[in-house]
Amino acid sequence: MTTLRSILYLIFLSVSVVLYASPISLFGRILPFDLVSRAGQHWAKVNLKALELLCGLGYRVQGMENLPSGNCIVLCKHQSAWETIALRALLPPAQTWVLKRELLWVPFFGWALAAFAPIAIDRSSVRRAVRKMLAEGKRCLDNGRWIIIFPEGTRVPSGTRKHYGQGGAMLAKKSGYSVLPIAHNAGVFWRRRDLRKHPGQIDLIIGEPLNPKGLKPEEINQRVENWIEETVARLPYARSS
């Protein structure tokens, strides 16, 4: 039953991507960024609801009161495709994502993604990628956008961790904007490279913003990593069924 319900959601997801991505791909670059961002947020909210209805996979959020009044740099644990939908739905719509440039080549999804003006980096050249992220990230922050970064760089299975890149911490130090750490256990229910979306409730925890003033990038990064990994370790890592 889980597999069947997951297939139904995959069909829904694919159809929703085409329906939303087609007009965004065609007109997104000439429409106001705020309008395009709200369209992306609406798509994400629709998909979170579909996950709950079709797969029985819901979520609960703690720490919404920690969202700062202004924009900031979000550093989030990366276990699943779920958080790429959830962050778009739950955070303010004016977002700029740091992502690998290959995603822009994905039909429909990638074409629409380009309209959201992401910071697309070439991971084969770390120095060039960092320079681009620092320059474009500072500009986007000054324009009022939230910067979304997965410091591990790729999805990691639940219960494991990977090296945290310092790009987000370096951006915080250079720009002066605060860092918002986010932890979750989405990988327990929606595993990496797994069709099945298991029923249950994902926990997403938003930490307190970290002011980078007086801290070195290494210190910022270590504090964020410690908080995220310690928080994830306290979350359920096994499904009830």
pLDDT at position 240, please? 57
Q: Any residues with CB less than 8 A from the CB of 39 and at least 6 apart, and which?
A: 20, 24
182 backbone dihedrals φ, ψ, rounded to 5°: -135, 130
Q: Per-residue pLDDT tens for 176-214?
A: 999 999 999 999 999 988 899 999 999 999 999 999 999
Residue of 55, 57, 79, 59 lying closest to 3 (CA atoms)? 55
Q: Per-residue pLDDT tens for 140-164?
A: 999 999 999 999 999 999 888 899 9
The identity of residue 172, as a single letter, is A
| 154 close to 161: Cβ distance less than 8 angstroms | no
- Helix intervals (H) in 28-115: 33-50, 82-90, 109-113
pLDDT at position 239, please? 66
pLDDT at position 63, please? 97
Rounded CA-CA distance 200/55 in Å is: 9
pLDDT at position 102, please? 92
Domains of the chain: 2-234 (3.40.1130)
The DSSP-derived string for 178-237 is: -EEEEEE-GGGTB-TT-S-B-SEEEEEEE---B--TT--HHHHHHHHHHHHHHHHHHS--
Rounded CA-CA distance 5/11 in Å is: 10
The identity of residue 38, as a single letter, is R
Q: Any residues with CB less than 8 A from the CB of 135 and at least 6 apart, and which?
A: none
pLDDT at position 126, please? 80
Collect the ranges in the chain with pLDDT lower than 70. 238-241
pLDDT at position 236, please? 81
